[in-house]
Structure 1
């Protein structure tokens, strides 16, 4: 387990990623990361995956095109 602190920067709360965390994520400054919420309320940080980003973009388009239908099914 790696511990980090949350601090205030302007109107935002910021979590600092240590060098060790960046190494584990295989990420560097300027990279995009995804934060995914688990069923148990936990958060998972993952590096950007172009395939996932493309799938999410496609899903957004489908949801926008079918918003009324999806709302009726909800």
Structure 2
């Protein structure tokens, strides 16, 4: 487990990613990351995956096109 701090920058709260964290994510400054909330409330940080990004974009389009039907099902 790696510990990091949350600090204020302007009106935002930011978390610093150490060099070790970036290496584990195979990421570098300027890269995009995904933050996903798990069923138990935990957050998972993942390096941006182009194929996952494309799948999520396609899902967003389908949900927008079927918003009324999805709301009735909810």
Query: Is TM-score (shorter-chain normalized) higher than 0.5?
Result: yes
The two structures have a TM-score, normalised by structure 2, of 0.98
> Aligned-pair RMSD on alpha carbons?
0.5
The two structures have a TM-score, normalised by structure 1, of 0.98
Q: How many residues align?
A: 74
Give 4+ residue runs of structure 1 displaced > 6 Å after superposition: none
Show structure 2 runs of 5+ residues with no match. none
- TM-superposed CA distance for 1:72, in Å, is 0.5
Q: Deviations over 1:15-70 (max 9, x none)?
A: 00000000000000000000011111111000000011000000010000000000
User: 1:46 — aligned with what?
Assistant: 46
Show structure 1 runs of 5+ residues with no match. none
